[in-house]
Chains A and B, each alone.
Chain A
């Protein structure tokens, strides 16, 4: 059973924020490390202060402006993508839990809804099939 529109992306704050942090923090660290590595390598290669001050520092200033403008945008897009993707994984779980509670309470007509992009879709479909068979046997 499919439902179409995703209304709430945040279904489990703790888990989704952990997932977003798991994606964002290493990436930020990696990018910062890479940025610094490039800067330091060029700096130690130039060494002469006049060369560093007239060539490397102005170039780094330009890079910093670009970074200051684009990194927040890139981070926003990245975190949003992480939120959407984490929702695809975690989204069906509360519904699964809710509907299974109904089944346990004896309501075998309950079916768990999923969306096409949900990562647990095939698993949920099988649970639905199981509940369906249980309902048929009961009748």
Chain B
């Protein structure tokens, strides 16, 4: 009898350990299901306040961002090593794109319905690095280009066009690999924050997007020794 119970306990524990590694090691997850989920996030108003609101549908929630000729972001400070936790996952949905048809200069075109940032601050802005994952309307997915605000700000087009707009789309990025691809070197500094933004100030139009299930994690192929080191 005792042997049977022991076997069951061992089996349950083993499956629990297996499951925890099978799903990867999650450093931080934002499900936005709690009523105070946005309280942990800080606002940064750039050019008029974008309305970031927590929308609850039953127990589940998400963030709704509506920009009316405005530009502001919300960010969450969390220092972590991108090499240890390279995966960044999120769900997003673009409801309305900013109208960039009349925009001419790169700065005028710098309006995106949805952006997700990973921020690597250094001693000064010039040496700091920023990765912005964007859902662009007219730039092909996979494109990496410099932001009009500096070569240290790399824009990575994750999704393009209106094909999937209006529906929730899940993304998973290896930030470490993207960083190396974009900057040509490994990250020298830890990431310090992640942020989301919806802006339509340059085009003086409107944009709307939704964000959900943002998670920073390590890949599931990590060995037990590697996880212990973290």
Contact = CB atoms under 8 A, between A and B. Distances in A.
Interface size class of B (residues with CB under 8 A): 20 to 34
A4 interface: no
Interface stretch (A16-24, A53-61, A121-129): A53-61
A49 interface: yes
Interface string B92-129: 00000000000000000010000001010101110010
| Interface of B, helix, strand, loop or mixed by DSSP | strand
B73 A48 contact: yes
A56 B75 contact: no
Interface stretch (A39-47, A73-81, A92-100, A110-118): A39-47
B140 interface: no
B121 A47 contact: yes
Nearest to B147: A49
A72 B110 CA distance: 40
Interface residues of A, number: 16
A52 interface: yes
Contacts of A51: 44-46, 73
A50 B73 CA distance: 10
A138 to B, nearest CB: 71
A113 to B, nearest CB: 54
A86 B207 CA distance: 66
A50 B128 CA distance: 13
Contacts of A57: 125
A47 B130 CA distance: 9
B149 A53 contact: yes
A57 B195 CA distance: 20
B3 to A, nearest CB: 57
B121 A48 contact: no
A47 B149 contact: no
Contacts of A55: 46
Contacts of B123: 40
Contacts of B125: 43, 49, 52-53, 56-57
Top-6 shortest CB links A-B: A53-B149, A49-B153, A49-B130, A51-B46, A48-B73, A48-B44
Given A48-B117, A56-B125, A57-B125, 10 more contacts: A43-B124, A44-B192, A47-B44, A47-B75, A47-B192, A49-B147, A49-B149, A51-B46, A52-B125, A54-B149
